[in-house]
Structure formats: C-alpha cells, structure tokens
Structure 1
Amino acid sequence: MPNILITGASGFVGGAVVEHILRQPLVDNVQLLLLVRADDKAAGFSRIINNLKKFELSEQQLALITEDSILIGDLAEPENFINDTRLDNITQVINCAAIASFGNNPVLWKVNVDGTLIFAKRMARVKGLQRFVHVGTAMASMPDKGSVFYEDMPDNDHNEDLVQYTASKRAIEKLIRQECPLMPFVVARPSIIVGHTQFGCRPSSSIFWVFLMAIKLKKFTCTFDANIDVIPVDYCAMVLVNLCLNQDIQHDFYHISSGEEMCTPFHEIDTFVAKASNTKTIIDEYKQTSYQDFTGIRKQFKNILGPCNDKIILRAIKLYGGFAELDVKFDNQRLMDMGIPKPAPFRSYIDKCVTTTRGQSISELMMVDFK
C-alpha cells in the first residue's frame, strides 16, 4: 500500500494533489500523511479540510482525511517534525510546500532551501522510500527570450533570476542532488499554473489576476501575440501523482507544461475573457508598454483597476511583466512519451476563471501571490 507524504497540502498545488488522490476509485488502498503548519492536529485538520472544500469534494471523500492524517510541521523549522516516527513508513513523497510568493518574503530562502534540504536528508534515510517528487518551477531554468526550453538543456547561467523564488527553487534541486545522491529523487517543473478546469479560480486566483489587470489597463509589457505557457492545477496534480506512483520513470526531471504547440497567445486570452464577461476585446486598443512608461501613469491605476496600492501594482507589473516579456515555451516531450495526455487548453476553462473571480477587485485577487 502506498504511504504518501504530501507537503503543502493546505495550498493550491498540494490541495489539488490531495483532491486528485481522493477522487481515485482505489483511494482506500492509499495512506496519506499531510504536513501542515498549525498549533495542533485539530487546527491542522481544519486547515486541510477548509482548503479541500474549495475543490468541491463530497463529504464521503473528505471523510477519508482524519486527524491521524495530519503531521504538524513547518519547513522553516523542520527540526520540530523530522523525528516523527511515521516518516519511517513513508513510501512516496510529493513535496509541494514552498514560499511561492514573488514578493520579498523574509523566510523564502529559509523554507525553500534550508528547511527543505533538512527535510530531504531525513527522507533519504527512510529505507522503504520509493520516490521523492519535488515541485520546482520551469522558470528556474532562466530561459532565453523567445525560446523553447527543452528538457535536456542545462539551466542558463548567463541569465539572471527575475525573482528570488526561482533562484531558491533551482538551488534546492542542486543541493538535494549533491547531498542525497542515492535518494529516488524526481523534479517536476511546472510552467504557469492558473485555475482549475472544473472550479476555475475558486481554489486560488493565483496569476489569473495578471491577465485581468493587463486587459483592464489595455497595455502590458508583452506583445499581443506573446505565447503564455499555462496549465490548470488539476492537470499538474495528476502528473505529480503519476510521477509519484509510476514504477517506470525514465528521467529525474520533467516539465509539466503546455508544450511547444499548445501555449495560449495573449490575444486569445483577451478574446475568451471578453466572451465570458460579455465585454469587448481590447484588440484595437492594446499597446505594448515598458515598465518605465507604466510608472508615468501610476496615478491612473485606481480609476482603471479600482481601489489599489499603486506601488504594489507597479511591483506586480515589473515582476510579472518581466516573465511575460520572455515569451518562452517549455517542451513536455518526456510526459508525452509516458503516455500522459496533453493538458486542457487555457481557453477551454477561462470562462470558469472569469465566473469565479467576478465581483472581486484586482487588489483582492492578487494578494494570494504577494504573501
């Protein structure tokens, strides 16, 4: 029986991983241990259940999670949980936990690198461990502008990280490979995770607000034809579970991405947002604009976007605009070779993302990414 430890289960990706497992017909044959930050098991259990309810699981499915499924701990302080004897019975790990903020979170490196390495070293000592799947990010490769980044390519050391998040993700991959060479370690690097094919942005509004903001402003740093490599969180979760349980894994690194042919042009996002919102597209008004030019119109943000902090909006434009300018695609041939289906195209569920964010301001939606 697989005994799977999932970290980050109270978050977006980790929650989707648990959702995927709970929906499987053979779920009774899987044992779950969920790492969660909380004062005690009762509080941790409550956090997990409240997160899973966003995925509209049935009461019967939610009942498969109990307080015995909870491991209280924080990667910022791994010494407080790594001695739990239940870890010795784990057969698989899906490590989703991280500080995923693009903001200046003071504990980002402590969690994403230092604490994660201590945790990985602990799990490397588990005799029955069959797989440790670590969730990274495709952008850690520091791709060249306008490129397709293939899975057999080395990360670009001639480019700079736009945010510390990507730097931390690349660093921990390298450290775990160096210090846990015998651990069955597999890295999954997702591209841009936006929404859920069934529940839109109810589980999280992460990143989707960037598209809404650019459409409302009628300008952004990328061209209107720029390709966006977007995947839904439920597809990402399905792949992570597959990499976790599949006995025939040929590589130690995989992109989870749209692939070279299925990226979504920004103008197509505008078209489907307009259709779902019953508004006009901005095709005749859109302008590619530099970050410097945005600083000159910052006083107009509140009139266009509603109540907001212009400094935070400018920071968001600088960070996300930098990624948008890259116009990069990530090859996913290794998943295709495994027989994994292609992800649902972003346009097929944009309407659900629009519906589930209706009535919320850009400022409200973006806070999930500026923790």
Structure 2
Amino acid sequence: MFAWHTPLSNAWQDSLVAPVRGEAPGVDRVLLTGATGFIGGNLLVTLINAGLLDRLVCLVRGASVADALARLRVSAVRCGLPHSRALRIGESNVMVGELGGELPEADEARLAEISHVINCAAQASLPTQPDMADTNVRDTLRFASRFSGSRSLRRFLHVSTAMACGTQCGANVQESPFGYGESQHIVPYTRSKREVERLLRVTYPRLPLVVVRPSIVVGHTVLGTLPSASLFWVFRVVHGARRFTARAMNRLDVVSADDCARAIALLAVKPTLAFDTYHVSAGTEAPTIGQIIGAMDEATGTSGRRYSMCRVRDFGAIARDVVGRDRSGSGRLIEHALRRYAGFAELDYAFDNRRLRKEIGFEPLPFTDYLSECVRTSRGVGIVEQMRWDFK
C-alpha cells in the first residue's frame, strides 16, 4: 500500500493505510485532474500506492491518448513511482482533455461512473498569465457543472490554497468558508482561487464539495527538490543573503508535497467528513525564518553573518549577488519574485489545521526536518535554473 520512507508518527501512518486497505468501500471510480503538476503528481503516486490504479482516471492534456499517457507516466516517475510500476498506468487511466474543454461522447459516459473527483488542475505560475482567471474560475466551474446532477458522485474535492484568505487575516487563519466580501491579495492567483471557492458553493449548492487549502508546498520529504524545485530557490537566496524584509521570528507555514498528497487522498476517500473545508498546513508547528536559516546552515555545513531585516529597495543588490552583473534579465526576475514572496512572508500567517489533525491524525514532517534533502538534491543546480519551476 503506502510506502513509508520518513519518520512519521504511528498514528499518521496507520490513518493513511487503514481507509484504503482492501476494498476501499464506496470508491468506485476516482477522477484526478492536474496529475502532471506538483501536488497532482504526488497525488497520482499516492493513489497508485494505495491500490487504486484500477479505479483511477486522470484528465490529461495531450495530442493523443498515447501522448497524454506518456506525460502521466513521466509525472509519476518524477514524483517517486518506480519506472516499472509507472508502466502499469495504461490507456484506461487516461482521459484526454482540458478542464473546461469538450469531451467525446465516450468520455462523457465515463464521467457518469465517477464517484470521487479530486480537482488539482490550476494555473499557478508566478507571472500573471492572461488566461489565469479563465482556467482557475471559468473552466473550473464548467468542469464542476458536469457533476452537478450526478447520481454516482459522492465527493468533489477541490484543491485551493490557504493564501486564498487574502492579506487581512489575523496571525492564525481559521479553517472556514470565505465570506462574500472583498479581500485584498498579493497576486491574482490567490484571488482567483478565493473567487472560484465562493462560486462553487453558490452555483452548485448540491455538489458534495470539500475544499482543501494547502499552505506553502515546498519539496518532498524523501526526494527533496527532484519532483519540483518550486519556491525552494527563494529559501536559497534568502539564506545566502541572510537578509529579507520579514522578521526572523515570522513564521512560514510550509508542508511537503508528499504529506500534502497523503492528506488530500485521505480526505477524498474517507467515507464521511466532519467539515467541508480543511487546511493542509504546519499550523502551530510552522517554523520561523530564523529556524529555517539555522536548518539551512546545518544542512549546507556553512554559517554566516547574523540574519537581519532589509528593505525592498535592497532586493536589486541581493539579486545581482545571485546572478552576477552579466545576467541583468535574471536579476530583475529574481528581484520581482522576492518582492512578491516578501509580501507573503511579512504576513506571519500560520494556518490552523486542528480539523485535519482530528479528522485523519495529520502529523506532517516539519520543513526543518526534511530541508536537508532539499539542499542535497539542489547541489550543482543553479538558482536561476530552479526558478524555472515557478516561471513556466
């Protein structure tokens, strides 16, 4: 079933294995979107390891079934599935299409058999894309409309983001549906995810909707940055500069992609849930920036001057130190990204996860405990190269 390579608590391990062992009652057919992405790829591996491959269908873009299948297998291998097991993913596990696109009649019939939907598909790149609102709002709503009158659907799990809360919350952000009022956001992505949450509830009130909001997803507890280096390069820059605009005591609520995927999988297949909104987060265990810098010192075997706060205007110099003066384009990109991420770090948010801990015994491995794997798998990889994960 689930393969354990990291020191998780016994309760967390048992809670993951038990609900999916054997028959997985009530789970007839699972539809997963976004399976070629970071969280979705880890979910794909988690569901396969749980013995659900014969009940799994993935909506994947591709020029053909063979092309989509190849992309799906590459994603699974990147997220830790052995190549030999990835070859077991077959054409029956693939549905070629896009979130808001048309589907052939045969695939429409397959949708009628779906009992559980896990919707991970989204446009999440740091640069604002012109189609971001279309993908994250319009296409998601159109996709959900396919299941609004379904008699077989038992759960529609939508993966959002904890930062959909906006920038005007208290330090401890609660797990609850958002109100209908206006909210301020640092990037259009989080605004679009908040809006689609609201519209899903309003437009399809009978949809068996469960919203899951991961916090900052960085690295993998076993594979480090190999599945994706998204965001880890920011920690490398801040560690090297030992300066940032946030206080050393500010918390950064980070979870690994594999812990995130395990939690989502459990929430998707558990027969009954107490709530319809959950944070997948470190919560009160979120480390401070100072603790992260210390853990990176230990992982890299280095130490430097004491961490200090800087001003936004200093980001240009920090970026030039990273890329050198002969790569001004990359330097400007780093400076722009640091401004965005600084806005999140300055909020000092921790996302309450008491619901999830009670529901499934959630005990994520702390970022500072698996950060060494992210450092190890980043050796020899330039920061500019790692940035590509966030600027596709």
- Aligned position for 2:52: 27
Q: Which runs of 5+ in 2 are unaligned?
A: 1-26
AA partner of residue 75 (structure 2): N
RMSD: 2.2
Normalising by structure 1, we get a TM-score of 0.92
Residues in 2 aligned to 1:206 and 1:312: alpha-carbon distance in whole angstroms: 15
Check if 1:174 corresponds to 2:201: no
SS of equivalent to 2:247:
coil
- Aligned position for 1:328: 349
Residues in 2 aligned to 1:299 and 1:205: alpha-carbon distance in whole angstroms: 21
Q: Confirm or deny: 8 A CA contact 1:145 1:325 kept in the other structure.
A: no
- Aligned position for 1:286: 307
SS of equivalent to 1:357:
coil
Shift, 1:99, TM fit: 0.6
Q: Confirm or deny: 8 A CA contact 1:141 1:156 kept in the other structure.
A: no
AA partner of residue 173 (structure 1): E
AA partner of residue 9 (structure 1): A
In structure 2, the CA distance between the partners of 1:178 and 1:145, relative to structure 1 (3 Å rule), is closer
Residues 244-265 of structure 1: CA distance to partner in whole angstroms, max 9, x if unpaired? 11112111111111112x1011
Shift, 1:286, TM fit: 2.3
Q: Confirm or deny: 8 A CA contact 1:228 1:263 kept in the other structure.
A: yes
Residues in 1 aligned to 2:117 and 2:384: alpha-carbon distance in whole angstroms: 35
Residues 259-315 of structure 1: CA distance to partner in whole angstroms, max 9, x if unpaired? 12x1011122112222222221x4x34221222332466544423998861221111
Residues in 2 aligned to 1:53 and 1:165: alpha-carbon distance in whole angstroms: 28
In structure 2, the CA distance between the partners of 1:103 and 1:127, relative to structure 1 (3 Å rule), is same
1:244-263 to structure 2, matched below 5 A, reads: 244-260=268-284, 262-263=285-286
Q: Confirm or deny: 8 A CA contact 1:143 1:155 kept in the other structure.
A: no
Check if 1:264 corresponds to 2:282: no
AA partner of residue 272 (structure 1): A
AA partner of residue 211 (structure 1): F
Check if 1:274 corresponds to 2:297: yes
Q: Confirm or deny: 8 A CA contact 2:224 2:370 kept in the other structure.
A: yes
- Aligned position for 2:243: 219
Q: Confirm or deny: 8 A CA contact 2:167 2:185 kept in the other structure.
A: no
Percent identity reads 35
- Aligned position for 2:17: none
Residues in 1 aligned to 2:118 and 2:88: alpha-carbon distance in whole angstroms: 18
Check if 1:17 corresponds to 2:43: yes
Normalising by structure 2, we get a TM-score of 0.87
Pairing partner for 1:238 from 246, 249, 262: 262
Residues in 2 aligned to 1:153 and 1:181: alpha-carbon distance in whole angstroms: 13
**What is the aligned residue count?**
365
- Aligned position for 1:208: 232
Residues in 2 aligned to 1:268 and 1:306: alpha-carbon distance in whole angstroms: 31
Check if 1:94 corresponds to 2:118: yes
- Aligned position for 1:64: 88
Shift, 1:327, TM fit: 0.9
Pairing partner for 1:5 from 19, 25, 31: 31
Residues in 2 aligned to 1:188 and 1:263: alpha-carbon distance in whole angstroms: 18
- Aligned position for 1:134: 158
Shift, 1:122, TM fit: 0.7
Shift, 1:72, TM fit: 1.0
Q: Which runs of 5+ in 1 are unaligned?
A: none
Residues in 2 aligned to 1:253 and 1:350: alpha-carbon distance in whole angstroms: 28
